[in-house]
Each structure stands twice: as C-alpha cells, then as structure tokens.
Amino acid sequence: MPNLPDAPERFDRLDALRGLAIVWMAVFHLCFDLNHFGLWEPRQFFTRDPFWTTQRTAIVSLFLLCAGLGQAVALHGAPRGWQFGALFGARFWRRWAQVAGCALLVSAGSALMFPSSWISFGVLHGVAVMLLLLRLLAPLSAVSPAALWGLGALALALPHLVQHPFFETRWTNWVGLVTRKPFTEDYVPVLPWLGVMLWGLAAGQWLMQHRRGVLAGTVPAVLRPLAVLGRWSLSFYMLHQPVFIGALSAWVALRGQG
C-alpha cells in the first residue's frame, strides 16, 4: 500500500494519487463500520454486491499501482542489474520493516475484534511480500522492456487458470491459487495482485525515462492536501480504523444509555 522510496525527493502527483486512494478507502471503511455497528443498513450487502466489491477491488488496485510506481521512482538512477546493495539498501529495509511490523499489528488487532475471520494475509502483508519480489524482478526491464508487462499479465491470469485445495489453509492461501476465497476480513494474496504492482513498476519505469513530469509535476493548490496525506499513507492506514471504531463504539454506548 504505502510508497517506499529510497530517495528523499517527493513526487507530488504520485503522492496525490495515493492520497486519493486513502480517502476512498476511508469512506469505504466508514460505510462498512457503520453497517457493522448497526447504524446504517445499505441496500447492497458489502461482501456480495458488485457496488461494494468492485469498489474494494478498485481501491486495492489503486494502492498497489501506486506502490509499483513508487518503486520505479525509488530505483530510478540505481545501477541496473541484480546488484543486491542497489536493490536492497538500508532505507528500503527500514521502510519495509515498518510495513511488515504494521502487518503484524493488523493481524493482532483483527484477531481481537474478529476471532473467526482475523486477517492473516491482508493488504499490508501482501505489500510486504510483493515489494521484495518487485525488487528482485525490477532488473528484468533491462533484459526486455516488455518483461514486466508480461509477468504482470501472467500473475493476473494464473489464479483463473490454476487452483488447488493445497492453497486453502492460512499457511498457504497467501499465494492466491485458492479454489474459494477464505473467510477473513481482508485478503490480498500475491496472485493476482503482484500483477498490478508489476504493471505499476513497468509504467513507472517508462514514465521516469520518457515522461517524468507526469509523476514529478506540481499539483493544483486544491489537491495539495491529498499529496500531503499520500506521504503519510501508512500512518493514516494504521490509525483510521481504530479512530472510526473507537468513535462509533462510544456513540453506540452513549445511545444505549440514553
């Protein structure tokens, strides 16, 4: 989900795009929480109706696309090829550890609130694993400009072509080749979602070489709050649900006393 740059330079348009995803996600989660606490009954059911499931897919896709674009920015100008020091610098590991640590916190928090459907491999878990894979695969673009696009297409297609009961457990469903979606509050497996990140990486590499201004250009003043929010995407992601849930729990408790 969050961008993990290896350089201090910020790209306002990319940050604003990530900020847009954050706002969309927060609105979606607020609707879900209102329904969970019985404060709002939508006409469509969250887990089945296309109105909500399509939004969820679009939000995750936008986050992962931004993550791929961010990796292209981070690796731009680095030595090409499989040089471990260039691909996995100290800054990358620090930021990666933050994502992985937050993923563990999400698992722990969800286990307390949803014991039967806790999150074992949600969006942050997926991002942590896929960022490692992206760093390993990024040099393929030097071999063939189409390599990352092709691998992305393969990753998107594989779950539709290959499924097996072996991947039904919490220890294996992170791969994504499941025969049915597991019962969990969030599920973002490596396949097919690695394909979205690979396409983001491929698009970002092309933009950095040929149309850098698309990512690096300034944004209108009205969109600057989105750019600021996009720079703090991980912090916002970790805080917004505890704030929503805490506020709604307090509201329900106060209503019960009234």
pLDDT tens digits for range 147-165: 999 999 999 999 999 999 9
pLDDT at 5 over 50: no
Average pLDDT, the chain: 91
b/e code 82-112 from CB counts within 10 Å (16+ = b): eeeebbebeebeebbebbbebbeebbebbee
For residue 70, what are its two tokens?
A: 């961010």
Q: Which of 112-116, 133-137, 155-159, 188-192 has the lowest mean pLDDT?
A: 112-116
| Bond before 192 cis per omega within 30 degrees | yes
**Predicted confidence band at 87 (pLDDT cuts at 50, 70, 90)?**
confident
104 band by pLDDT with thresholds 50, 70 and 90? very high
Q: Is the pLDDT of residue 119 over 70?
A: yes
Q: Is residue 81 part of a domain?
A: yes
What average pLDDT does this structure show over 206-221?
91
Mean pLDDT of 95-101: 97
Q: Per-residue pLDDT for 4 more than 50?
A: no
Of all residues in the chain, the percent with pLDDT exceeding 70 is 95
Higher pLDDT, 40 or 5: 40
Q: Is residue 59 part of a domain?
A: yes
Q: Which domain holds residue 195?
A: 12-257
Average pLDDT over residues 231-252: 94
pLDDT at 3: 44
Give percent of the chain with pLDDT exceeding 90: 75
207 domain-assigned: yes
Confidence category of residue 43, pLDDT binned at 50, 70, 90: low
Which residues are bridge partners to 52 per DSSP?
Answer: none
Token code pair at residue 257 = 């006393």
With a cut of 50, say whether residue 97 has pLDDT above it.
Answer: yes
Residue 183 lies in a domain: yes
- pLDDT range class, residue 122, cuts 50, 70, 90: very high
Does 45 reside within a domain?
yes
Q: Is residue 7 part of a domain?
A: no
Per the structure block, which two tokens stand in for 203? 């698009």
pLDDT at 204 over 60: yes
Q: Domain for residue 236, yes or no?
A: yes
Higher pLDDT, 97 or 141: 97
- pLDDT of 255 reads 82
Q: How confident is the model at residue 246 (pLDDT cuts 50, 70, 90)?
A: very high
DSSP-derived 3-state class of residue 119: coil
Count of the separate structural domains present in the chain: 1
The pLDDT of residue 79: 67
CA dihedral 184, 185, 191, 196 (to 10 degrees): 170
Has residue 2 been placed in a domain? no
